[in-house]
Amino acid sequence: MGRSVRQKRKNRSSRATVQTHNKSKKKLNPLGNDIIARNWNKNETLTQNYRRLGLATRLQKVAGGSDPILTRAPDGSAVAHAARPKRDPLTIDPTTSGSVGGAVREVRVERDARGRIVRVLDGRAPNPLADPLNELDSDSDSDSDSDSEMEEGGGGGGGGAAGRRQRRAEEHEWGGLSDREEGEGEGEDEQEDESGRPEVIRQLEKEARRPVLRTPRHQSGREVEWLQRLVDRHGDDVAAMARDRRLNPMQQTAADIAKRIKKWRKD
């Protein structure tokens, strides 16, 4: 069968055929790191691979276009949910207990002879930043207040209060970690690392901690020959070597030439 009129007309046309290449469908081949290349899955995208390996594709937050994270429901089906933004620990939360605007239901107060409130005894210190050590600070303050009240109230009980404070100080005195506690801490850290982080992260950290050996720079034969000609003509006058336009066409400074000569003579 002969060719159609449409095909003949298309061959005579001067307009070139537009061909588009979709680079996003091109298979990625990571060659930057051997550890990532060994654990790379070519059927997944770059974001999916990095998420599976525990890495971040970018340092800033994702602006959009990320696929939802699939989780398993109790019946076994996959349920997609959007990634919840992580709460900033430094964000001031007005609904926390003891913070500004929090609901206070009952407190112990101290009143004077006229019935006016002088101070709050068991009130918690404001903690807008959710500091976990804030409660410990308030406990120590309350203990010191109670001790001072006991000293002021009873004259004969002063020795008992002092003895209690001394015993409390001895109990809280820290004498360092014992061998057993140190061993337990190391085991817990290793167990936490093995269970919490992927193997790829530990391999990358191990590779990053490897010291980089500096290779000493060796002078080439042409550089040694050039320095020999400079020394033969000018001796130890590095300023004259720097001004010599014929032997120093690259205009090396006097300090640079002196450093090169020192290294050449040392070798």
Look at the chain and count its residues.
267
Question: What's the pLDDT score for residue 184?
Answer: 43
Task: For residues 127 and 133, give the distance between their C-alpha atoms in angstroms, rounded to a whole number.
Answer: 10
Q: Rounded distance, CA 110 to CA 112, Å?
A: 7
Tokens of 236: 């130890």
Contacts of 124 (CB under 8 A, 6+ apart): 97, 98, 134, 135, 138
Q: What is the pLDDT of residue 91?
A: 60
Q: How confident is the model at residue 264, as a pLDDT?
A: 93
pLDDT at 100: 47
**Angle value at C-alpha 259, between 255 and 263, nearest 5 degrees:** 170
- Report residue 251 as tokens: 């205009």
Coil vs helix vs strand at 128: coil
Rg (CA), the chain: 38
pLDDT number for residue 157: 46
Cα–Cα distance for residue pair 226/244, rounded to 1 Å = 12
Number of Cβ within a 10 Å radius of residue 103: 6
Residue 165 has a pLDDT of 66
Tens of each residue's pLDDT in the chain, 267 residues:
567 888 787 777 777 778 787 766 667 778 888 999 999 998 888 888 998 888 888 888 777 777 776 666 666 565 555 445 566 666 655 555 444 445 666 778 889 999 898 888 765 666 767 676 776 665 555 555 555 555 544 444 445 556 666 666 665 555 544 444 444 444 333 334 555 778 889 899 999 999 988 888 899 999 999 999 999 999 999 999 999 999 999 999 999 999 999 999 998
From 113, 172, 106, select the one nearest 144 (Cα to Cα). 172
Instruction: Find the angle CA(252)-CA(253)-CA(254) to the nearest 5 degrees.
Output: 125
Which pLDDT value is given to residue 263? Answer: 93
